[in-house]
A and B are shown apart, each in its own frame.
Chain A
């Protein structure tokens, strides 16, 4: 059961980094600016180094992942709180693995891109980077946990570093945004806590666990719950995940948080943290409560379609780049949820791939917008114009990541969006049709933003704006490369995801609908 602790070490590396960063001694207040600069540089390099070690470690781990092996690999299991049947149990299936992979790729990118974010704020640079690394540990933990209690612990604990990152280092109404973010998430988390405890109590009454309450996911999937119980527990988990994801109407914290957070923080929030919501829907809502999952499908699909359209329409109307990108995420999370609840293997694979691609695409465009904002000091689209003529590299990469946001064929997001829509169409035609409109709206918000900010006459304030520096280019280049590479050749990632999706589908006894036979149209009845 307990092989080499790959996942524990993957989580410990950033934590050790955070510790080292925190232990770098501060300089006295009256030291020379050069010394201070050298010291903060050291801190950043240490943080970057640890995030790169974590990246390498996870890459090595991923190469050892056997796509035809057991569902969960690299498993570890130790008893933690025996009184409650809580285990320290880790393990990854294909879905969790790619999400961990996305996390560790984004982390060094974000650290590099946030190089100067904490410098001028009269705040502790050390704290900012230490918090980031702690957050990485918790995000790896939340994807790797195979014990519901452990998952919950990471799910809640991860809010704290994010809360401090927004509240201490953000811009604008950062206190308001941080508190709103924390309270929304906490409320969802507490409702989930009731469901988690109830799940434990019901598990203790089930023969499948030998009448011992447990939180082990592998045991809980065999516990049969009555449909009524399933529905209530599903709601407890689902609301928490819908707040996190964020799904309309639980999304209102997101625009404020993405507006007030530093670009790097926002990327971690939109790119990784919010994925925990959609990841949880697959792992917990679907696998633990399949009956309730089917019962609530129409409702959730409706919410997902509303999210897609609402997020896109509201994004079009935004004057702030950061808010705009925040709202596009609401739309994109709608697609992910749509793919999950379509309950077809294409839909699920597409949704999982979408989570990864969205992380990279949104990450790239948010960081680029951040570079732009850092140069001009404003996030209003109207304050820009003709950037393309002054900073062609910045504008060009902005366009590529923007096109990824609107799912242009050839870029990674197209593959996932296509899979989601195909997967949904084979079962829920109406929902898929409405969702497709989201693609058109995406073209509007991306291209219109590009047109206003990058084309046209050079705005006075923009003239003389420097193009991307080497550090900035180094930060976004890997993301752009991944967007293009995974658009052309998504097979390696899909190969990892598909077995996990198949196993999830067979777990809940779901089969793909048989496509309508071209000859006898009437035979294509929906299941």
Chain B
């Protein structure tokens, strides 16, 4: 960036060098998103959905394969190189990033399976989001069978932003990525067909609070720029090490950027949006947010704290300790009182963010690799759990209230059994992915000297286990409610999503070795600077 500025003043404008092959995964996804917008304009209505599906699945699969190719390429990581900085220092291509991007792409693929499932007689998405709820317009749209096929390009934009967010090597790129990932999500949240007012409320809340947190983040960037004269993570790190500049600016910068990032992962005290948004958004979008967004935001958090503030561990660790403890305890305790299954999973997601934070504060290779593993394991289980939620339906749509789930185990043992497996994984019972993940992060935390955090962590896990177990009690030990919700036979898409979640939960619990070694391999050299 500085070289670019220097070049401009001297008159000649050299073309920036862009390593297209290394950035291909993001470019493919963004390209498909833009093509999707054109599809909306030019392709006849009846063909749109098929073309969109082709674009979305094709681009996500291609991006995933290309990510694997980059990760396996020997030239990029030759001679033990930690990775590469591409696009004039704006984007980092290193092993942790590739792992995170691969995880996001897999999770996004599964989420799009849920978004695309049209087998339900009442679709998840509103036909005409602009029509006021309950109006004649809405009814007409409904009768005309209108659907918003824009959800596919919007999702791809969001996924593209998620890919760029953890890969950004300077704070401005990171901010742009944050906005690119957030704006489509604000929109998508408001598209639920059922309980549209709740959905609108969710979108509004998410937008206002998200904008607020973005402002914090931007303000933090300004502080850090004031401190170091640069927005590049590496320059900030070296300025912090050299101790040149005002400590006030530095610490204010750390705090404000931290707030922006912690908001996205839903750490306490920045969690208040999560339950409302998770509840109000259409369930497939909730699945996307609960898996991909969390992974992406943790990736960015890890990069900023490990690269830019990597030498200031002693300064930020106490604050992050407090946040971690609060996140685990508040998430677990408030979840106990929830009666809506989506809200409950929202609070559980807050508690899980706390568990991952115990590894983040370790600020070590083990901390990074265990966070990576936890994110992959948790993301897959979460997508599976939300996929099951889309299957349990009342005549008007999903049956989210827990009382409706009573006795489900007797009516559809298979679906209830799979959901119970996901809950046991969330609770961290051995032989599920949740246990391996929890073991990994707690081990990193203890090795990093954070034993008190781990003790708080296991106590919160015990509290969390209470409400997971209570759902199992409800499903299996209670008698079915009268005219209870029916469990629809999953369509091909949702069925695949549930199957992927189930298999991943079991495999990562019983033979976690391959993915663990991948995560270890990804983390050995930390992030490129």
Q: Using a CB–CB distance below 8 Å, which chain A residues touch chain B?
A: 80-84, 124, 152-154, 156-157, 159-160, 163-164, 167-168, 174-175, 178-179, 182-183, 186-187, 190-191, 193-194, 197-198, 200-201, 204
Chain A residue numbers with a CB within 8 Å of B430 are: 152-154, 156-157
In this complex, how many residues of chain B approach chain A with their Cβ under 8 Å: the count is: 34
- Scoring A84, A156, A193 by chain B CB atoms within 10 A of each residue's CB, the highest score goes to A193
The yes or no answer to B38 lying at the interface (CB within 8 A) is: no
Question: Complex: how many Å from CA A190 to CA B427?
Answer: 11
Question: Complex: how many Å from CA A159 to CA B472?
Answer: 14
Given contacts A175-B473, A194-B451, A200-B443, 14 further A-B contacts (CB under 8 A): A81-B436, A156-B430, A159-B429, A164-B476, A178-B473, A178-B477, A186-B465, A187-B462, A193-B442, A197-B439, A197-B442, A197-B443, A197-B446, A198-B446
> A81 touching B477 by the CB < 8 A rule?
no
Cβ-closest 3 pairs across A and B: A190-B458, A153-B430, A167-B477
Question: Complex: how many Å from CA A186 to CA B446?
Answer: 20
Q: List 14 A-B contacts (CB under 8 A).
A: A83-B517, A84-B443, A153-B430, A157-B430, A160-B424, A167-B473, A167-B476, A175-B477, A182-B469, A186-B465, A187-B459, A190-B458, A190-B461, A194-B455
Q: In the complex, how many angstroms separate the beta carbon of B65 from the nearest chain A beta carbon?
A: 26
> B451 touching A179 by the CB < 8 A rule?
no
Closest chain B residue to A183, Cβ basis:
B466
Chain A residue numbers with a CB within 8 Å of B473 are: 167, 175, 178-179
The yes or no answer to B516 lying at the interface (CB within 8 A) is: yes
Q: In the complex, how many angstroms separate the beta carbon of A199 from the nearest chain B beta carbon?
A: 10
Chain B residue numbers with a CB within 8 Å of A198 are: 446, 451
The yes or no answer to B506 lying at the interface (CB within 8 A) is: no
> A174 touching B477 by the CB < 8 A rule?
yes
Q: In the complex, how many angstroms separate the beta carbon of A190 from the nearest chain B beta carbon?
A: 4
The yes or no answer to B243 lying at the interface (CB within 8 A) is: no
Question: Complex: how many Å from CA A3 to CA B297?
Answer: 49
Which residues of chain B (417-449) have a CB below 8 Å from chain A?
424, 427, 429-431, 435-436, 439-440, 442-443, 446-447
> B458 touching A194 by the CB < 8 A rule?
yes
- Scoring B430, B435, B516 by chain A CB atoms within 10 A of each residue's CB, the highest score goes to B430
> B458 touching A191 by the CB < 8 A rule?
yes
Question: Complex: how many Å from CA A193 to CA B437?
Answer: 13
With A183-B462, A190-B458, A197-B442 known to touch, is A81 a contact of B476 (CB < 8 Å)? Answer: no
With A183-B462, A198-B446 known to touch, is A81 a contact of B513 (CB < 8 Å)? Answer: yes
Q: In the complex, how many angstroms separate the beta carbon of B39 from the nearest chain A beta carbon?
A: 45
Closest chain A residue to B430, Cβ basis:
A153
Closest chain B residue to A170, Cβ basis:
B477
Chain B residue numbers with a CB within 8 Å of A156 are: 429-430, 435
> B431 touching A157 by the CB < 8 A rule?
yes
> B439 touching A84 by the CB < 8 A rule?
yes
Question: Complex: how many Å from CA A83 to CA B466?
Answer: 31
With A160-B424, A194-B455, A194-B458 known to touch, is A168 a contact of B429 (CB < 8 Å)? Answer: no
Question: Complex: how many Å from CA A165 to CA B516?
Answer: 34
With A167-B476, A194-B454 known to touch, is A160 a contact of B429 (CB < 8 Å)? Answer: yes
Q: In the complex, how many angstroms separate the beta carbon of B47 from the nearest chain A beta carbon?
A: 44
Which residues of chain B (444-487) have a CB below 8 Å from chain A?
446-447, 451, 454-455, 458-459, 461-462, 465-466, 469-470, 473, 476-478
Q: In the complex, how many angstroms separate the beta carbon of A26 from the nearest chain B beta carbon?
A: 10
The yes or no answer to B166 lying at the interface (CB within 8 A) is: no
Chain B residue numbers with a CB within 8 Å of A187 are: 459, 462
Q: In the complex, how many angstroms separate the beta carbon of A318 from the nearest chain B beta carbon?
A: 26
Contact of B513 among A83, A168, A183, A194 (CB under 8 A): A83
Q: In the complex, how many angstroms separate the beta carbon of B438 from the nearest chain A beta carbon?
A: 8
Q: In the complex, how many angstroms separate the beta carbon of A164 from the nearest chain B beta carbon?
A: 7
With A175-B477, A200-B443 known to touch, is A190 a contact of B513 (CB < 8 Å)? Answer: no
> B477 touching A168 by the CB < 8 A rule?
yes
> B447 touching A201 by the CB < 8 A rule?
yes
Q: Using a CB–CB distance below 8 Å, which chain B residues touch chain A?
A: 413, 424, 427, 429-431, 435-436, 439-440, 442-443, 446-447, 451, 454-455, 458-459, 461-462, 465-466, 469-470, 473, 476-478, 512-513, 516-517, 520
Q: In the complex, how many angstroms separate the beta carbon of B511 from the nearest chain A beta carbon?
A: 8
Chain A residue numbers with a CB within 8 Å of B469 are: 163, 179, 182-183
Chain A residue numbers with a CB within 8 Å of B470 are: 179
> B443 touching A201 by the CB < 8 A rule?
yes
Question: Complex: how many Å from CA A80 to CA B439?
Answer: 15
Chain B residue numbers with a CB within 8 Å of A174 are: 477
Contact of A190 among B413, B459, B466, B520 (CB under 8 A): B459
Q: In the complex, how many angstroms separate the beta carbon of B77 from the nearest chain A beta carbon?
A: 20
Question: Complex: how many Å from CA A26 to CA B317?
Answer: 57
> A81 touching B462 by the CB < 8 A rule?
no
Q: In the complex, how many angstroms separate the beta carbon of B513 from the nearest chain A beta carbon?
A: 6
Chain A residue numbers with a CB within 8 Å of B520 are: 83
- Scoring A183, A186, A190 by chain B CB atoms within 10 A of each residue's CB, the highest score goes to A190
With A160-B424, A194-B451 known to touch, is A81 a contact of B516 (CB < 8 Å)? Answer: yes
Q: In the complex, how many angstroms separate the beta carbon of A89 from the nearest chain B beta carbon?
A: 16
Closest chain B residue to A205, Cβ basis:
B447
Closest chain A residue to B445, Cβ basis:
A197
Q: In the complex, how many angstroms separate the beta carbon of B426 from the nearest chain A beta carbon?
A: 13
Question: Complex: how many Å from CA A66 to CA B439?
Answer: 37
Chain B residue numbers with a CB within 8 Å of A159 are: 429
> A201 touching B446 by the CB < 8 A rule?
yes
Q: In the complex, how many angstroms separate the beta carbon of A524 from the nearest chain B beta carbon?
A: 45
Question: Complex: how many Å from CA A153 to CA B470?
Answer: 22
Q: In the complex, how many angstroms separate the beta carbon of A161 from the nearest chain B beta carbon?
A: 12
Q: In the complex, how many angstroms separate the beta carbon of A76 from the nearest chain B beta carbon?
A: 17
> B476 touching A168 by the CB < 8 A rule?
yes
Closest chain A residue to B515, Cβ basis:
A83
Closest chain B residue to A154, Cβ basis:
B430
Question: Complex: how many Å from CA A23 to CA B430?
Answer: 24
Question: Complex: how many Å from CA A124 to CA B473?
Answer: 16
> B465 touching A153 by the CB < 8 A rule?
no
Contact of B454 among A81, A164, A197, A200 (CB under 8 A): A197
With A175-B477, A183-B469, A200-B443 known to touch, is A193 a contact of B458 (CB < 8 Å)? Answer: yes
Closest chain A residue to B436, Cβ basis:
A81
Question: Complex: how many Å from CA A163 to CA B420?
Answer: 13
Closest chain A residue to B447, Cβ basis:
A201
Question: Complex: how many Å from CA A110 to CA B177?
Answer: 62
> B442 touching A194 by the CB < 8 A rule?
yes
Chain A residue numbers with a CB within 8 Å of B513 are: 80-83
Question: Complex: how many Å from CA A365 to CA B352?
Answer: 46
Q: In the complex, how many angstroms separate the beta carbon of B348 from the nearest chain A beta carbon?
A: 16
Question: Complex: how many Å from CA A156 to CA B466?
Answer: 15
Question: Complex: how many Å from CA A153 to CA B429?
Answer: 8
Question: Complex: how many Å from CA A198 to CA B443?
Answer: 7
Question: Complex: how many Å from CA A175 to CA B461?
Answer: 21
Chain B residue numbers with a CB within 8 Å of A175 are: 473, 477-478
Question: Complex: how many Å from CA A124 to CA B411?
Answer: 12
Chain B residue numbers with a CB within 8 Å of A124 are: 413
Chain B residue numbers with a CB within 8 Å of A182 are: 465, 469
Chain B residue numbers with a CB within 8 Å of A157 are: 429-431
Chain A residue numbers with a CB within 8 Å of B477 are: 167-168, 174-175, 178
Chain A residue numbers with a CB within 8 Å of B436 are: 81
Q: In the complex, how many angstroms separate the beta carbon of A276 from the nearest chain B beta carbon?
A: 14
Chain B residue numbers with a CB within 8 Å of A154 are: 430
Q: In the complex, how many angstroms separate the beta carbon of A353 from the nearest chain B beta carbon?
A: 31
Chain B residue numbers with a CB within 8 Å of A190 are: 458-459, 461-462
Question: Complex: how many Å from CA A463 to CA B424?
Answer: 48
Q: In the complex, how many angstroms separate the beta carbon of B357 from the nearest chain A beta carbon?
A: 17
Chain A residue numbers with a CB within 8 Å of B440 are: 84
Question: Complex: how many Å from CA A80 to CA B436?
Answer: 12
Chain A residue numbers with a CB within 8 Å of B455 are: 191, 194
Question: Complex: how many Å from CA A167 to CA B443?
Answer: 33
Q: In the complex, how many angstroms separate the beta carbon of B519 from the nearest chain A beta carbon?
A: 9
- Scoring B435, B442, B458, B478 by chain A CB atoms within 10 A of each residue's CB, the highest score goes to B458
Question: Complex: how many Å from CA A81 to CA B514?
Answer: 9
Question: Complex: how many Å from CA A190 to CA B451?
Answer: 13
